[in-house]
Amino acid sequence: MSTPSRIAVVGAGIVGCSCALWLQKKGFAVTLIDPDDPGAGTSSGNACTIAEYGCVPVNSPDLLRRLPSLLFSSDSPLSINLGYVLSHPAWMIDFLLNCREQKVVRIIQELGKLLGRVYDGLDPLLDMADARDLLAQKGFMHVYRDQQEFNAAKPANQARREQGSNFVELDRGDIQDLEPNLKIPFERGLLFDSINHVLNPTALCQRYVECFKRNQGQLLRQRALEVIPENGSVQIRLDNAEIVDAERVVIAAGAFSKFIDGIPTGSLKLDTERGYHVQFSNMQHLLSRPVSWQQAGFYATPMNQGMRFAGTVEIAGYKEKKNPRILGYLKRKAHEMLELPPQPDQEWLGFRPTCPDALPLIGFSTTSENILYASGHHHLGLTLSGITGKLIAELANGEEPSHNIAPFSPQRFS
Ligand SMILES: Cc1cc2nc3c(=O)[nH]c(=O)nc-3n(C[C@H](O)[C@H](O)[C@H](O)COP(=O)(O)OP(=O)(O)OC[C@H]3O[C@@H](n4cnc5c(N)ncnc54)[C@H](O)[C@@H]3O)c2cc1C
């Protein structure tokens, strides 16, 4: 019997864990490398939705028009640290160029097509890891405070419909019937009936890793410092000085993927959109399903640990501490929305991995066929984790990928 080829996966967030399981399904021997607990990073704190409707990016021509008011309002879900942006202008310039109408139309189409494949990647992993109990099919609701907010969202909602999202429009009475604990009389809403959400995203990663280990996967609790391509293989240097030899490596270290030496990350244009949550334990009974207050830029999600209010976008890089203005904003909005205890039990900051064109990075590195990237999933990493794993495994196995990944190629930036 021949020995299976060894592949290393750097990063045990939801994307890395999904890649690792899919690679095992294809028969590879896999080493998963992460200094932290699986799923402890950005994958732990998200809004938990399998957001098949999520084809509309933050980039939009409208954002350009609204930018000044969003930036200087204390009541805004968007924050830009000018010092950071001025010292790292390239990403922001590219992001703004990708707010032009033509670009946004293309982003929506490419994300829409990939989102149509979500369950081709997710279902086999949920079965393999015996994790279906961590998913709840309760649907998902967008709410709008008044007709004006609703009208402003019409083009985005039309785009969602064109990309295959099914939803019904709601009026004030429908919303109150469905979610009677909402304090604000939201005038309009949308109900996406068939949407799933995850009840505990960290537990999902842990379940994947338990399955990975049962299948003889090797988990190394080390930081990958450097990737060294060799002839037909690759070495990964860890922070305990150990070297891992592999046929290929998958870089799935989320927003931190660009900090590993030896890969041409400069050309990846990966940066971070920071996002926050505040969480109130034992308050999950207040809603039946995740509810997104669109204009306010966050979701209220009932989950196993409580009621989580997650969202907002902050461009401030990796080093700044948590921004008290944004946490204050989220707490204020949470209390406007639902009857809650005065203080949350948890305040959290996470780092979405984001390319300026709002498309993920899935594919071979520009310099080596031994290096694959699975990163840049911004607001959709939980949703797209399974299909990303499937596509990465197909590439590693030398197959024609089952989805056109050219738009997501790391080579698009070179
Ligand atoms: C507030 C908020 C709400 C969100 N809501 C949703 C949602 O509802 N639905 C959705 O689909 N997505 C959502 N997202 C996005 C989603 O959470 C992310 O896209 C996803 O978690 C990214 O996963 P990842 O595995 O790429 O990165 P991470 O979860 O950050 O994992 C990366 C891992 O790599 C490890 N690592 C880093 N450097 C190294 C190294 N040198 N060596 C080894 N390991 C390393 C880290 O320790 C970490 O474990 C949300 C994000 C935020 C912030």
Percent of the chain whose pLDDT exceeds 70: 98
Question: Which atom of ligand 1 is nearest to 17's Cα?
Answer: 25
On whether both 187 and 287 belong to a single domain, the answer is yes
Task: Give the count of beta carbons closer than 10 Å to the beta carbon of residue 168.
Answer: 10
In the numeric block, which tokens belong to residue 63? Answer: 């954002």
pLDDT at 3 exceeding the cut of 70 = no
Question: Which atom of ligand 1 is nearest to 374's Cα?
Answer: 26
On whether both 36 and 73 belong to a single domain, the answer is no
The boundaries of the domain holding residue 387 are 6-44+202-266+358-413
| Å from CA of 318 to ligand 1 middle | 13
Q: Is 51 in the pocket of ligand 1 (CB under 6 A)?
A: yes
| Å from CA of 186 to ligand 1 middle | 32
On whether both 194 and 308 belong to a single domain, the answer is yes
In a domain, 94, yes or no: yes
On whether both 278 and 338 belong to a single domain, the answer is yes
Q: Phi and psi dihedrals of 193, rounded to 5?
A: -65, -35
In a domain, 107, yes or no: no
pLDDT at 307 exceeding the cut of 70 = yes
Question: Which atom of ligand 1 is nearest to 14's Cα?
Answer: 25
Residue whose Cα lies nearest atom 26 of ligand 1: it is 254
Residue whose Cα lies nearest atom 3 of ligand 1: it is 46
| Å from CA of 198 to ligand 1 middle | 15
| Residue from 209, 256, 362 whose mutation best tests the ligand 1 pocket (most atoms within 8 A of CB) | 256
| Å from CA of 400 to ligand 1 middle | 27
Question: Which atom of ligand 1 is nearest to 382's Cα?
Answer: 11
Residue whose Cα lies nearest atom 41 of ligand 1: it is 224
On whether both 189 and 317 belong to a single domain, the answer is yes
**C-alpha to C-alpha distance for 252 and 254, rounded to whole angstroms:** 6
Average pLDDT over residues 380-403: 98
Q: How far is CA 89 from CA 269, 294, 317, in A?
A: 11, 28, 12
On whether both 322 and 210 belong to a single domain, the answer is no
In a domain, 115, yes or no: no
Domain CATH code at residue 167? 3.30.9.10
On whether both 71 and 170 belong to a single domain, the answer is yes
| Å from CA of 39 to ligand 1 middle | 8
In a domain, 243, yes or no: yes
In a domain, 299, yes or no: yes
Q: What is the pLDDT of residue 67?
A: 78
Q: What is the pLDDT of residue 265?
A: 60
pTM for the complete prediction? 0.97
Question: Which atom of ligand 1 is nearest to 224's Cα?
Answer: 42
Q: What is the pLDDT of residue 66?
A: 77
Structural domain total, the chain: 2
Nearest Cα to Cα of residue 269 among 17, 16, 97 = 97
- Which carries the bigger pLDDT value, residue 62 or residue 150? 150
Helices (H), 163-300: 172-178, 201-214
**C-alpha to C-alpha distance for 128 and 189, rounded to whole angstroms:** 36
Q: Is 383 in the pocket of ligand 1 (CB under 6 A)?
A: yes
Find where tokens 């098949």 sit.
52
The DSSP code sequence of 141-198 is EEEESSHHHHHHTHHHHHHHHHTT---EEEEHHHHHHH-TT--S---EEEEETT--EE
Average pLDDT over residues 70-90: 87
Q: At 67, is the secondary structure helix, strand, or coil?
A: helix
Q: What is the pLDDT of residue 1?
A: 43
In a domain, 121, yes or no: no
In a domain, 50, yes or no: no
Nearest Cα to Cα of residue 256 among 169, 179, 350 = 350
On whether both 221 and 278 belong to a single domain, the answer is no
Domain CATH code at residue 232? 3.50.50.60
On whether both 70 and 141 belong to a single domain, the answer is yes
Q: Is 260 in the pocket of ligand 1 (CB under 6 A)?
A: yes
Sheet architecture: strand order including 243-246: 224-229, 234-238, 243-246
On whether both 274 and 405 belong to a single domain, the answer is no
Residue 76's pLDDT band (cuts 50, 70, 90): confident
CA angle 310, 55, 404 (to 5 degrees): 130
**C-alpha to C-alpha distance for 263 and 278, rounded to whole angstroms:** 35
Q: What is the pLDDT of residues 158-206, one digit of tens each?
A: 999 999 999 999 999 999 999 999 999 999 999 999 999 999 999 999 9
Question: Which atom of ligand 1 is nearest to 348's Cα?
Answer: 1
Q: How far is CA 96 from CA 93, 112, 157, 210, in A?
A: 5, 21, 22, 42
On whether both 284 and 165 belong to a single domain, the answer is yes
In a domain, 247, yes or no: yes
Q: Is 11 in the pocket of ligand 1 (CB under 6 A)?
A: yes
Rounded to the nearest 10 degrees, the angle between the axes of helix 201-214 and helix 14-25 is 30
Domain end, chosen from 354, 381, 398, is at: 354
| Å from CA of 188 to ligand 1 middle | 32
